[in-house]
A and B are shown apart, each in its own frame.
Chain A
Amino acid sequence: MWLGVSSALAMGAGYYFFGWAGVEIAFALKELIASHTNILVENAFISMRDSMRDEADHDVVSLPMEIASGDGFRIGYQGENFHEPVVKSTSYLKRVMSDRKVTRPSVKEWRRMVLNPEPDWANYKGLWGVKSALSDESGPPGPKWDRPDNLFNVNPCVRREKPLEWLRMLEERQ
C-alpha cells in the first residue's frame, strides 16, 4: 500500500486531473443506468457482479464498489463488507488454489506515508512478483523497470496494467 500511497503523490493528481476518475465514474454511471440500480440500497454495487463475470478468465470482476472523485465526494458501500456474497470460480484449479493457506500482513491498518526521501527499495528494477513463462501471469514490474530486451521481457497483464481497457474488453464480449 505504501507503494500505492506514494503513487498518490506521483500519479494520483495526474489521474484525477486528467480524467482517470472521470472515466471510472462514467463507467459506473453507465452501469447504474443500464441495470436500473438504486444506489441508495446497500447491495447496489454487489448486484452488478454476476453481469460482469469474465467466464474466459474465470474471475469475477466488478467496478469499484466505492467511487472517489478526488474532491472528497464518495459514493458506494463504505461499511463492513464481509457479508457480501462470494462467487466461486467455475475453474476447478482456480477454486482449489484460491482455498490455499494465505499469508496476511501483520499490520492491518493502512497509513499515509510520504516517500520523501525515496527509500532504497524504490530503486528496485526487477519484478515485484514471480516471473512466469505464461503470458500475462508474471508479477508486476515496478516503477524503475527498464528492461527493453526481448529475451527477459514480460508481457504486461492487461487486467493489471490497463484495468479500464480490460473492462472495455469485457463489455465488448457481452
Chain B
Amino acid sequence: MNDHDLLETYEPVLRFAKSERFFPMAVEHYLERCSILPSGPLGAAGLLFHLNEPLATFIGKLEGGQYFLRFINEPLYDADA
C-alpha cells in the first residue's frame, strides 16, 4: 500500500454544523489572503527580516511562536464584543 492508498483508506470525513463559520481549505490559498502579525516583541523583530516577502515563502522560517494570522479583512475585535 502506497502513501496515497493509505491516505484514501483512512482519510478523515468532516461534517459541520450549520453554524460553523470556519472550514478547512488549502493552506496555500489561506496564506495568500492572510496577514501575519506579531503577538510579542520577538515576533515583531522577526517580521522585520521578511518585509515585502510573500507569506508562504517565509512563514516556516520564523523563529518562535509569537505570531498570529489574520484572514478576514474586517475582523471582530474584542472591543466589538
Interface bits B8-21 vs A (CB < 8 Å: 1, else 0): 11111111011101
Shortest CB–CB separation between residue A24 and chain B, in angstroms?
10
Within 8 A of A (CB), among B64-81: 64-76, 78, 81
Chain A residues with Cβ under 8 A from B8's Cβ? Answer: 112
Does A120 contact B61, Cβ atoms closer than 8 Å?
yes
Chain B residue nearest in CB terms to A72: B9
Shortest CB–CB separation between residue B5 and chain A, in angstroms?
10
* A130/B69 contact (C-beta < 8 A), A3-B24, A9-B6, A105-B25 known: yes
Shortest CB–CB separation between residue A109 and chain B, in angstroms?
10
Task: Name B's interface SS.
Answer: loop
Does B56 contact A126, Cβ atoms closer than 8 Å?
no
Chain B residues with Cβ under 8 A from A125's Cβ? Answer: 62-65, 67
Q: A76 at interface (Cβ–Cβ under 8 A)?
A: yes
Give CA–CA (A60, B67) in the complex, Å: 31
Shortest CB–CB separation between residue A123 and chain B, in angstroms?
4
Does A128 contact B78, Cβ atoms closer than 8 Å?
no
Shortest CB–CB separation between residue A26 and chain B, in angstroms?
17
Does A4 contact B57, Cβ atoms closer than 8 Å?
no
Does A8 contact B11, Cβ atoms closer than 8 Å?
yes
Interface bits A61-93 vs B (CB < 8 Å: 1, else 0): 110111110111010100000001011010001
Which of B9, B25, B26, B65 is the one whose CB lies under 8 Å from A146? B65
Chain A residues with Cβ under 8 A from B70's Cβ? Answer: 129-130
Does B11 contact A112, Cβ atoms closer than 8 Å?
yes
A-B contact pairs, 17 of them (CB 8 A): A5-B12, A59-B19, A64-B14, A65-B15, A67-B13, A70-B9, A86-B18, A89-B19, A105-B29, A123-B61, A126-B62, A128-B69, A129-B68, A129-B69, A129-B70, A131-B37, A138-B68
Pick the 6 closest A-B CB pairs, nearest first: A126-B67, A123-B60, A120-B60, A64-B15, A1-B24, A68-B13
